[in-house]
Amino acid sequence: MNVQTDRKAVSTLFIIILMIVSAIVGGIISYAFTIAYYAKKPQETTLTITNVYIDKENVKEFTISVLNPSYSPTDATISRIAVSLEGETQLYDVIETEPPIGDGIIVPVGESKNITCIKIKKDDRDVRLGDLIGSYDFAGKNIIVHVFSLDSAAANIRARVPYVKLDIAEKFDSKFSFKKFNVTLTNSPQSEVNITLSEMLIGGVDAQANGTIKGTVIPRGEHVCFMFNGSWHGALKRLITVHTEQGYVFRKEVALKNVDVRIQNVNFDIEHRDYFNVTIFNFAESAHYANLTMIKCRLDNGTYIPEKLCDPPVGIAPNSTVTIRYDWNWAEYRGRSITIVAYFLQDFETTSYTAITPPPIIVKVLNETSVFNLQDKEHFNITIENHASSLEAIKITQIKIKRTGQLLNGTTEVNPQLPCGPIAPGESKTLKCTFDWVNYIKNYDDRNLTLSINVTTNTAPLISHSFDFIFILPVAELTITSVERAEVSRMKYLNITIKSMDYSLWNLTLAKIIVAVQNLTAPLEYVFPKNQALISVGSEVVLLCPFDWQKYSGKDLTVTVVSDEHVEASRVYHIP
């Protein structure tokens, strides 16, 4: 037997057996892996965000890649995309995409979809990624991109946004000018890009920069300053918005100092026709003084009268007024509308104030306090003056009780009869009129009576003018019959005797006594308890008023008694 030949045969058989075993084991393993795939195939669609692409040179948009794996059972429909800051729960919806997300974006099984995200909803504003980075403190932070689908669970991925910072430093100097200001922009040394400006907006201000903004490059760590011309007067806050070519948007709201100055009054003094007065008020809330340089006036036909220049400028502190005399002869410009504007050294002006020059005919009542007399309750006497500044003579044609519309009969109820005139400028005429004004008080429970007096010019063409005069009808008359010194238990008093005249209409309630001492600035006032000091028609009362008369020996006192019905009486008393 050949031993060498047997060994060779055994080796060959062993190799054949190993090959058969390897084939069987490999088949089993392959089967196991293959069957595992089919045995564990997902029952629901699973989306995956594979990439977020943010270009730091263009943050007007960013792109995400969303994969629907080949083992997903169905196509997926993306219904919502949102972003959030890492570690925060607030989601900001992406509201504009390409392709549009309106009715959903379909991602077929086994395919990937690139979606460009353009606009994002932030609070009540539609913004872009560049807004979030520049204006909402997203710079250099991680964001989470969320993709929602009706067919699968949400997919999330983390991404970092570029760090780009722009410092906005403004200079609004209200003491210098309300029409000039500076804005300095500084690109942070840590910024990842050199910023290229596209525009700068100053909210509510039509401002023009002294230089070109669009295309200006601000390298990292450097700054640029722009000077602006544009009125910002009246604003308490302004929003500065800087847009860049790369899509970054930077905002800063600034608080401003302000000065509020108004024309308070324009007064034409009919005794002086060669000027008028303009009163200007600087409100207490103003940050500082204002310096008046000029006042301009425009007539209703658009013609300007010579301006009033203030050289040197007139300073007006907060909560104070100044009255400026404006030299202009208005005698021939009667009843004209005039628009006045005041201008200031700080490059602002007041809102316009409209005044009316005095009318061509000016009528006054000379005896205003004595027209109605309690001793004659069925008549009144009125003295009417055609003021010296009137342009021509007048005739009085009508007297009317305004509330009732009652016309006084010019023939039987007015003496001299109406029409009455001519009354030349500077002259007056007294008319006695029949009218039961006591009955008027009873019927209307009102002491205020308005007389409407109509006049016409004396030369053709006859022009009618109407004037209203308001009177407070008298209801009682008081008199102080005596003032005497008194002393009770070492306390010094004034004994004041007050009488209500027999022809008074009403009983009165005395309110107070005022004692004005000669050369003493502040009068002394004594107020009676409410409804305690009464005086009836025709009666007399004596009041004891505490007063140290010995201190004022040799001086004059003016004693005045006042009632709740605004009836007064005064008497001068000399202290021995």
- DSSP assignment of 299-349 equals ETTSPEEEEEEEEEEEEE-TTEEEEEEEE---TT-TT-EEEEEEEETTTEE
Long-range (24+ apart) CB contacts under 8 A made by 545-553 are 545/493, 545/494, 545/495, 545/496, 545/513, 545/515, 546/491, 546/492, 546/493, 547/492, 547/493, 547/494, 547/515, 548/492, 549/485, 549/492, 549/494, 549/575, 550/492, 552/517, 552/518, 552/520
Secondary structure in 3-state letters for 344-398: ECCCEECCCEEEECCCCCCEEECCHHHCCECCECCEEEEEEEECCCCCCCEEEEE
Q: Are 559 and 483 in contact (CB under 8 A)?
A: yes
CATH code matching the domain that covers 166-255, chosen among 3.40.50.300, 3.30.70.260, 3.40.640.10, 2.60.40.1230: 2.60.40.1230
CATH code matching the domain that covers 478-574, chosen among 1.10.3470, 2.30.30, 2.60.40, 3.30.450: 2.60.40
* 475 Rama sector, left if φ>0, alpha if ψ -120 to 50, beta otherwise: alpha
| CA-based nearest residue to 215, from 184, 245, 246 | 245
48-160, what's its fold?
A: Immunoglobulin-like (2.60.40)
Return the bridge partners of 111, or none. Answer: 68
| CA-based nearest residue to 455, from 395, 366, 384, 387 | 395
CA 136/CA 250 separation, integer angstroms: 9
Q: What is the pLDDT of residue 206?
A: 87
The two tokens of residue 522 are 């502040």
CA 166/CA 251 separation, integer angstroms: 9
- C-alpha distance from residue 568 to each of 368, 499, 542, 560, 561 (Å): 16, 11, 16, 7, 6
Q: Are 539 and 500 in contact (CB under 8 A)?
A: yes
| CA-based nearest residue to 278, from 300, 296, 290 | 296
Q: What is the DSSP letter of 131?
A: H
Q: Where in the chain is the domain with CATH 2.60.40.10?
A: 48-160, 261-356
Q: What is the pLDDT of residue 414?
A: 96
Angle at 224 between CA 218 and CA 225, to 5 degrees: 155
Burial class of residue 192 (count of CB atoms within 10 Å of its CB; 0-12, 13-18, 19+): middle
Q: What is the DSSP letter of 45?
A: B
pTM of the model: 0.73
CA 22 from centroid of its chain's CA atoms: 92
**CATH number given to 261-356:** 2.60.40.10
CA 285/CA 317 separation, integer angstroms: 11
Q: Are 186 and 222 in contact (CB under 8 A)?
A: yes
What are the two backbone dihedrals, phi and then psi, of residue 367, each rounded to the nearest 5 degrees?
-110, 50
The two tokens of residue 17 are 């057996």
CA 321/CA 283 separation, integer angstroms: 9
CA 260/CA 380 separation, integer angstroms: 49
CA 244/CA 193 separation, integer angstroms: 11
The two tokens of residue 439 are 């009955």
* 137 Rama sector, left if φ>0, alpha if ψ -120 to 50, beta otherwise: left
CATH code matching the domain that covers 363-472, chosen among 2.40.40, 1.10.3470, 2.60.40, 1.10.1660: 2.60.40
pLDDT of the chain, 576 residues: tens digit per residue: 444 555 555 566 666 776 776 767 666 666 555 544 444 555 678 899 999 999 999 999 999 999 999 888 889 999 999 999 999 999 999 999 999 998 899 999 999 999 999 999 999 899 999 999 999 999 999 999 999 998 788 899 999 999 999 999 999 999 999 999 999 999 999 999 999 999 999 998 888 999 899 999 999 999 999 999 999 998 889 999 999 999 999 999 999 999 999 999 999 999 999 999 999 999 999 999 999 999 999 999 999 999 999 999 999 999 999 999 999 999 999 999 999 999 999 999 999 999 999 999 999 999 999 999 999 999 999 999 999 999 999 999 999 999 999 999 999 999 999 999 899 999 999 999 999 999 999 999 899 999 999 999 988 889 999 999 999 999 999 999 999 999 888 888 999 999 999 999 999 999 999 999 988 778 889 999 988 889 999 999 999 889 988 888 899 999 999 999 999 999 999 988
Q: What is the pLDDT of residue 2?
A: 47
